[in-house]
Structure 1
Amino acid sequence: MTLDYVRALVNVRSVEELWALHSRKMADFGFDRIIYGFTRFRTARSFGDREDFVVLSNLCAEYMQAFVERGLYREAPMVRWATDNEGVCSWSELERRRARGELTEEEAKAVEFNRSMGMTAGYTIAFRDISVRAKGAIGLVARPGLDQEAVDSVWAEHGRDLLLMNELMHLKVQNLPYASTRPPLTPRQREVLEWVGDGKTTQDIATILGVTPATVEKHLRLARETLDVETTAQAVLKAWFQNQIFSAPP
């Protein structure tokens, strides 16, 4: 069963296709609601600009509005755990912390919000990333009717496969273009950034494209504005992270 999933995962060509596949697979194990987040722009105090996150979920719009858009995730205990750790954590840890009186007031409010939305049992995976600026994690929420004891039994039996499938999904996301709330680069903006990435000067690019240096500068300026960065070097890096440049044709 896991091998079939891996074969399908290898062949997906879009984040949307990947997420549909992964959501169905996790539901087979009782996790019918999942939420995934990934950033390459983490700092010591934040995950970077919200518009630069990759956030994938099949949770309802009401939940996503409160948890992500209004920033409730910053207070969620399992998000805080994932920020500082790598590996797997059962949500039974929340009950142990609650019993010991270790949850802050803000964390307790986040837990109660999740409970009000029917999210009472599950697992969180914090992925291992090779960059100090990157962080990825996923929350697997058990379907209604499954308590944490039942979910822990599922994990005891299938945890190795579940961890493997989620780690592979995380790696695959990083190699697919994903939609941002910002508009995508135009073909010409992508082209000039690719030439910059290849070490070409503005004059070189103008000659290659048969345009004036001023036109090249205009495309670079617009690319920087679209990506919300200050320098062309930052634009090349962010566009590459988002798989907007040097991408293979579909």
Structure 2
Amino acid sequence: MTLRNYLQRIARCPTLEELWDNHLEMMESFGFDRLIYGFTRYRSGSSLGDPEDFVILTNHSRAYTDEFVTGGLYYHAPMVKWALEHDGACSWTVLHDMAREHAMTPAEARVLDFNRRMNVTAGYTVSFKSISARSKGAIALTAREGMSQEDVDAIWAEHGSDIQLMNEIAHLKILTLPYSAPNRALTKRQREALEWVGDGKTMQDIALLMGLTSATVEKHLRLAREALSVDTTAQAVLKAAFANQMFVLDA
């Protein structure tokens, strides 16, 4: 697939699933067969926010993601720390240098040991430029088993500019598509009620527009707040908007 064809396919993808499948296929053609993409809009201080609010896309094994993401290893991962402080692309050579120079904390060393056990040893990390102090996104590109970091660096020397561009465009497209964690998805009625709130309608207006009682509208809003794990309806509207769940066209 040429760069032009890839960009055309990505630009026209209507769903996150289709986009991700296309991106995996393209990155595998360069030797990166395992990817993990992460994005948060809830960064503050030393926190990246609730992991359930992250946008996480990956084709790593469940055994890997259960420990790295769910188990919280990512928080101590040296390349995650690098991504939070930098924009651009970085070779995992820095990890080998840190290990050789004994420059890792015990927590970072545990992440490195875990990755070695899972054959996640060579690759590149691309950190995307943020326009908000509270948002950050990055992707880790893991080379197929048997490839050395020297092999990966040689590929990057030849194709790195194109690979980085493709990941940056995929990231920008991801930000436009609806996303929700399985336990954070809204029903059609919950979404509709939030949309009317976002339009500035009163509870009485919404009840009339939806053909429901005010009590039923409030029930939908309460369930939306619970689904999104927020305290107020205003927060629910904001979080749903961040996840592109507002005013979504049904398939």
Number of the residue aligned with 1:231: 232
CA contact (8 A) 1:91 1:121 kept: yes
The residue correspondences of 1:92-107 to structure 2 (distance < 5 A) are: 92-107=93-108
Q: Choose 92-101 or 190-199, whichever is displaced more.
A: 92-101
- What is the distance in 2 between the residues matched to 1:217 and 1:61? 38
Q: What are the equivalent positions in structure 2 for 1:93-132 lying under 5 Å apart?
A: 93-132=94-133
Which amino acid in the other structure matches residue 43 of structure 1? S
Code of the residue aligned with 2:45 in structure 1: it is: A
After superposition, give the CA deviation of every residue in 1:36-61 in whole Å (9 maximum; x if it has no partner).
Answer: 11111112122111111111111111
1:167 partner amino acid: E
**Separation in structure 1 between the aligned mates of residue 36 and residue 79 of structure 2, nearest angstrom:** 12
Aligned residue in 2 for 1:37: 38
CA–CA separation in structure 1 for the residues paired with 2:211 and 2:250: 24
In 1: Cα distance, 2:71 partner to 2:5 partner = 38
Question: What do the CA deviations read for 1:192-234 (whole angstroms, capped 9, x no partner)?
Answer: 1111111111122123223332222221111111111001110
SS at structure 2 position matched to 1:182: helix
1:114/1:120 contact within 8 Å kept: yes
Contact 1:51 1:181 in 2 (8 A): no
Match of 1:84 in 2: 85
Q: How do residues 63-212 of structure 1 correspond to structure 2 at under 5 angstroms?
A: 63-212=64-213
TM-fit CA distance, 1:107: 0.5
Number of residue pairs matched by the alignment: 250
Question: Which 4+ residue blocks in structure 1 deviate beyond 6 angstroms?
Answer: none
Mapped pair 1:249 → 2:250: yes
Larger displacement relative to structure 2 (152-161 or 173-182): 173-182
- Please give the alpha-carbon distance, in whole angstroms, between the structure 1 residues aligned to 2:20 and 2:75: 24
Measure how far apart 1:183 and its partner are: 4.6
**Higher mean C-alpha deviation, range 132-141 or range 216-225:** 216-225
Greater alpha carbon shift after TM alignment, 92-101 vs 10-19: 92-101
Counting aligned pairs with the same residue, the percent is 55
Aligned equivalents of 2:231, 2:95: Cα separation in 1: 41
Letter in 2 for 1:201: T
Which structure 1 segments of 5+ residues have no match? none
Tell me the SS of whatever aligns to 1:37.
Answer: strand
SS at match of 1:3: helix
SS of the residue corresponding to residue 182 of structure 2 reads: coil
Does the 8 Å contact 1:32/1:142 carry over to 2? yes
Distance 1:167 1:72 in 2: 25
1:6 aligns with 2:7: yes
Secondary structure of the corresponding residue to residue 224 of structure 1: helix
**Partner deviation per Cα, 1:137-192 (whole Å, 9 max, x = no partner):** 10001112211111111111111100110001111111112241315211111111
Separation in 1, partners of 2:210, 2:61: 47
Gaps of 5+ in 2: none
| Secondary structure, counterpart of 1:133 in structure 2 | coil
What is the CA–CA distance in structure 1 between the aligned matches of 2:114 and 2:12, rounded to whole Å? Answer: 37
Deviation, 1:6, is 0.5
Counterpart of 1:200, as a letter, is K
Match of 1:58 in 2: 59
Alignment of 1:9-28 (within 5 A): 9-28=10-29
TM-score, reference length from structure 2: 0.96
